[in-house]
Homo-oligomer: A and B are copies of this chain.
């Protein structure tokens, strides 16, 4: 017997038929004698529907009331799933967050889980009951309903796995697991069997939207074994562990890319302390997220060039900042919004010599020009022209034996 958290996302519970299918998955796990806590999202489309209702009243709809509104979505799924299980003669019960309670801190629409009372549910699990908990929400110490941000049901599942000290946390979704690259665009993409938390985080931040990043982070900190798997097939998913539990045979685990970047270069920036701070301070103030930053080593000249990338959506705002700001001295500014970011990710990279060279060689063979480079311990990212991106992804996928 093991104790598990099973989390089902919005598409997994998107209709009555799907909820009944999820009930069958739970029934099977229950027959295996497992203790089960099930965390559910709102039915797909529901949260947006509720959000739109609030926006039709006001774009600055009161946040306390927004949380009361949105939390109803997962409440509905919880009741329907509990009812479907009871219909299969399984003792099941929905536990709303105030009934447990799940306590949060922080402001409405952006709270975080700080404590969960376990007694009631543990007693129910011991009597072979299946507890159904609406994800994405909690209550504040004042007794207000709170929510923990979009995609927050993953965070709920991991927090529950941690506090209930479960053996596993399984994230059921509409894809088979984590892939070596985007399977929708690159058909040779392969499902990854095992991956480390760090790699998962890098892949998530690079656009593999399988799991919410902060949930992966929490799982990493508390070493909670995760598995991402499909609700709609019987196949094994992707297991996510600490690096020490993974036997690396490959240096590179996955190839990720994003196509919504823009590159900006300030040419002839005065090369003295404090200049970088001057450049990025106004961007920070305007909540523009800077991704890669590259500054060339200054030559004997008194100036240098600074290149950085941002989301393409922020380009107009960024232009305005540099055109208006007199604190930053530079000779010239160039923009390129036809760029894409290409990354290889792998916890084995650091111990495998030549990965960097191999990537650059492969791109050179395809006559793809590298516009900027950034590295971390388990990731190597380059900026290239957008038109070459799919070609480059395929090439790297092959070169690093991921096909």
Q: How far is the CA of A263 from the CA of B19 in the complex (A)?
A: 46
Known contacts being A72-B72, A87-B58, A99-B143, is A65 close to B53, with CB within 8 Å? no
Residue A61 at the B interface, CB < 8 A?
yes
CB–CB B94/A80 < 8 A: no
Q: How far is the CA of A337 from the CA of B370 in the complex (A)?
A: 87
Residues on B with beta carbons closer than 8 Å to the beta carbon of A20: 57
Residues on B with beta carbons closer than 8 Å to the beta carbon of A19: 57
Q: Which residue of B lies closest to A132 (CB)?
A: B65
Known contacts being A57-B80, A83-B58, is A94 close to B65, with CB within 8 Å? yes
Bin chain A's interface residue count.
35 or more
CB–CB A72/B75 < 8 A: yes
User: Distance in Å from the Cβ of A307 to the closest Cβ of chain B?
Assistant: 44
CB–CB A75/B68 < 8 A: yes
Q: Mark A387-398, 1 if CB is under 8 A from B, else 0.
A: 000000000000
Q: How far is the CA of A13 from the CA of B112 in the complex (A)?
A: 33
Which of A64, A80, A143 has most chain B Cβ within 10 Å? A80
Q: Which residue of B lies closest to A72 (CB)?
A: B72
Which residues between 305 and 342 of chain A lie within 8 Å of chain B, taking CB atoms? Answer: none
Given contacts A20-B57, A65-B83, A69-B76, 12 further A-B contacts (CB under 8 A): A16-B56, A54-B80, A54-B83, A58-B87, A61-B87, A62-B83, A65-B86, A65-B93, A68-B79, A69-B79, A72-B75, A98-B98
